Amino acid sequence: MPLVGTGEIVGPAAASRRGVGAFNVIQLEHATAIVAGAEQAGAPVVLQISENCVKYHGAAAPVIAAALAAAAVAAVPAAVHLDHATSPELVREAVDLGAGSVMFDASTLAYDANVAATAETTAWCHDRGVWVEAELGEVGGKDGAHAPGVRTDPAEAAAYVAATGVDALAVAVGSSHAMLTRDAVLDLGLIAELRAAVPVPLVLHGSSGVPDATLAAAVARGMTKINVATRLNEVLTAEVRRALDASPALVDTRRYLGPGRAAMAREVARILGVLGA
């Protein structure tokens, strides 16, 4: 199955009210687990690389190349996406390296500056056939626009999409980044209002903290791209701890990262089932 663009996955899903799982890659084990889980579920998938992941590895090229290679041999449609890039330079580098879509985050800027920067980046990406996601609101570290009490206004969201030309919009409806508990309360009514007002697919960040039933309900109300990062790290870490606790003398990394990768793959498949992907 050839590598595809994110829009080729998200567009049809939005039209049919299905969810798309977009999972963050940190190590190679994440990339191969995400692909394996999608294959188990028989569903398309998006592999995401965040600006923080690029910083962790010290360069964009190695991790983007790994994600592209994993996606290219998948038996299901798979896309590679740059997540939460605050720098136009990183966007350009990722596109030059082969990323087919980007999430450009200018949300720390004042509204007019946000619109101008996002519109400029979007135009540059569209000239190269690259799909663009943006977020309206403040994204401050692990909370920002997803902190409790902060919500996206439907009318403002529609105006923002019209002014910037973005292909998808991340909205604040009650989730929060990096949650370790699964008790986030989403505003399902607001999701439906946003879906009616905004002409592009909606994206939910911070989905690891959302219960399964609420995720399914969010998709039914009109949410499409569902970003998951922390949950896979939880699963990987728990499995690695179990393996090391069971065998304290273990030093072969394949013997503990392998089970962790398998556990992540099972979780990816499970979540894709929840999303109806």
Residues noted as catalytic: 83
Closest CA relative to residue 206, chosen from 198, 214, 195? 214
Which token pair is 109? 């800027």
For the chain, what is the largest distance between any 2 Cα atoms, rounded to a whole number of angstroms?
A: 59
The residue type at 116: A
Could you tell me the CA-to-CA distances from 105 to 134, 149, 271 in Å, in that order? 6, 21, 26
Q: What distance in Å separates the CA atoms of residue 123 and residue 121, rounded to the nearest whole number?
A: 5
Q: At what angle do helices 253-275 and 28-41 cross, to 10 degrees?
A: 40
φ and ψ of 124, to 5 deg: -60, -45
Q: How far is CA 70 from the centre of its chain?
A: 17
Closest CA relative to residue 194, chosen from 21, 14, 23? 14
Q: What distance in Å separates the CA atoms of residue 209 and residue 177, rounded to the nearest whole number?
A: 8
3-state helix, strand, coil in the chain (%, to 5): 55, 15, 30
Question: Counting Cβ atoms within 10 Å, is residue 61 exposed (0-12), middle (13-18) or buried (19+)?
Answer: middle
